[in-house]
Structure 1
């Protein structure tokens, strides 16, 4: 008998739930005018917000770094391991500390970003050229609500700076750019650049993707191309640093050997000019000694010349080559904001607020009455 009662209770609960859902649907349908009004308000707010956000343009470059022939087999093994979720990048690098996986860290480092401050950029609308630092500081706009909410913090910061004095704000104080000690404004520009320059590495394909987002399409393309060039120059300088040091040392040895060889030749020539008709044995011994010194100097000069050529070939061999899979092009369409998504988001939010108000109107009224008592 108890089982039948449980079944009856469950059926009653299900009926109540169905009745509640139907009641909620009925409330919403009866108050559909209110929902439409809220959705309309949301659409208006969405349009205001969507057109208040500045347009951003994104330029994407894809670089494929060169793989050394000696590590090609290891790279194939690494690609197979990466498919299984195993990272063998350090083993495949062949002693190279700056692997492609670390390129995003290089691009976000302070010296790299500070090195972009003086890069000249040209706006597409005005054809005016500024340093990138000036463009980010003076020619990049934000949203009106960002300025509005930021005013109190700026006022507080100004008061605090007056209290503390300006010593902490001036950095080194000589007006020069010092990556070791940036001023507050320079730190803000550096952080803004770090957000606008993004680099990602694909473990499977080994391709680095560099994306630069700016409020001007031409500036976006110029900065992206410059970032790729600076990255390639940095990696090239790092990988060829040892070979270039060896080349400089070989050039020094070759120059010293050349000078010694020319001096030995000149000493032999001067002696022969002064002692042409002498047949003394002492004169012959001196001539033979100077001749041997000249021959030895020439042999050393010849060896250092060969070493110099080998050092030059080593520099060329260690210089990496990058295949530009996708070069920089001036974007035509803005990457953000998506006005349609913003509009539908606000319309949906307006509908949700209106529905919540309609559903919980009775409970809100009861709470008000209970508090009033």
Structure 2
């Protein structure tokens, strides 16, 4: 009991004092290993410079697109104007399954990327003037990727010696791509990115390649193809309706002409007769002609509305910020060097302060 009376519990003031002592001890350890830290910084600096100058310069071009949202109002658009002038009912518009808000999915799709293969590109110095699929082979890679890929290339070369070579060129088949084609599709999928602001609908397309002019040309081509891709989808249904109405228009016009000829021939053949049966047949033929004309006129009106609908569906989005040739590279060599120095410094501190003592305890135990 007396021993318990002599026991005093630690006061709260003693805890910060212990923590302060630990921090001071930690600071003394850091000061003591300053020579090691200097060496780590030097090694990180050298490694960072080597890596920074080994990575090829890359340029990024961003294009901002503002999609034109469709309106469901029946009193707007060329089709509604045509319908009001022609006296026909306005065509109902429904939201498209494919629109500008799906730009990211469209740009990363395999058929879209395959269409970019034949895009003509030209480097800033004019030495490279070829297609995009050929330019992907012209891009340089870091030296370590060449070393890591050397075994695979050697195996491929050995297999090529024992396999029969075929010079026949085959067309691109999205359903079944070759290994080389799939590799280039994946490269383009990483090169071309599309981000969409769901609130405003603004789409930002970015392309990253190793030549500034090639990057700008590819970005401009992506925008044009994306716009045409969406336009073709949006007007596909309208074109199909227009083609059907065009065929129907030709048929109804021919029926009207035939009814008109039958009526004219009958009147010419029986103009001197006043029989009631002749008048009855004449009225019947005239009614058939008038009915054929009414149907022909209605189809003609619907055809004009369908043609106006195609024109109305064509605008998809406006280019707010067009593609321009970048003046500076997007990958900063300074940041690579700073990052490597930071990693070397943090790694050395972590090992000396925590890793080495734990490893020593593990060995002793």
State the TM-score, normalizing by the size of structure 2.
Answer: 0.77
Q: CA RMSD in A?
A: 4.0
* Alpha-carbon distance in structure 2 between the residues aligned to 1:220 and 1:257: 54
Map 1:56-67; keep pairs closer than 5 Å: 56-67=58-69
Map 1:265-276; keep pairs closer than 5 Å: none
What is the deviation of 1:312? Answer: 0.8
Conserved? CA contact 1:61–1:327, under 8 Å: yes
Map 1:47-58; keep pairs closer than 5 Å: 47-58=49-60
Q: 1:265 to 1:329 in 2, by over 3 A?
A: same
Deviations 1:46-102 (A, max 9, x none): 11111111111111111111122338xxxxxxxxxxxxxxxxxxxxx9542224442
Conserved? CA contact 1:244–1:315, under 8 Å: yes
1:345 maps onto 2:339 in alignment: yes
Deviations 1:189-239 (A, max 9, x none): 000000001001101211111111111111111111111111111222222
What is the deviation of 1:107? Answer: 1.1
Q: 1:352 to 1:68 in 2, by over 3 A?
A: closer
Deviations 1:223-265 (A, max 9, x none): 1111111111122222222221111111111222334445556
Map 1:109-188; keep pairs closer than 5 Å: 109-126=109-126, 128-136=128-136, 138-155=137-154, 175-188=170-183
1:28 maps onto 2:21 in alignment: no
Deviations 1:326-352 (A, max 9, x none): 1111111111x2111111122223334
Conserved? CA contact 2:100–2:230, under 8 Å: no
- Which residue, out of 2, 11, 17, partners 2:7? 2
* Alpha-carbon distance in structure 1 between the residues aligned to 2:51 and 2:66: 40
State the TM-score, normalizing by the size of structure 1.
Answer: 0.75
What is the deviation of 1:11? Answer: 8.2
Structure 2: runs of 5+ lacking an equivalent: 1-5, 74-92
Q: 1:14 to 1:321 in 2, by over 3 A?
A: closer
What is the deviation of 1:294? Answer: 5.5
- Which residue, out of 315, 320, 338, partners 1:325? 320
- Which residue, out of 214, 220, 241, partners 1:225? 220
Aligned to 2:77: none
How many residue pairs are counted as aligned between the two chains?
A: 338
* Alpha-carbon distance in structure 2 between the residues aligned to 1:287 and 1:14: 115
* Alpha-carbon distance in structure 2 between the residues aligned to 1:359 and 1:259: 95
Aligned to 1:86: none
SS in 2 for 1:59: strand
* Alpha-carbon distance in structure 1 between the residues aligned to 2:196 and 2:335: 29
Q: 1:178 to 1:365 in 2, by over 3 A?
A: closer
* Alpha-carbon distance in structure 1 between the residues aligned to 2:13 and 2:217: 74
Conserved? CA contact 1:27–1:359, under 8 Å: no
Conserved? CA contact 1:100–1:201, under 8 Å: no
* Alpha-carbon distance in structure 2 between the residues aligned to 1:202 and 1:368: 52
Deviations 1:257-291 (A, max 9, x none): 33444555666777889x69x73569977887776
* Alpha-carbon distance in structure 1 between the residues aligned to 2:50 and 2:229: 44
Conserved? CA contact 2:61–2:208, under 8 Å: yes
* Alpha-carbon distance in structure 1 between the residues aligned to 2:262 and 2:13: 124
Between 103-112 and 345-354, the greater mean CA deviation after superposition: 345-354
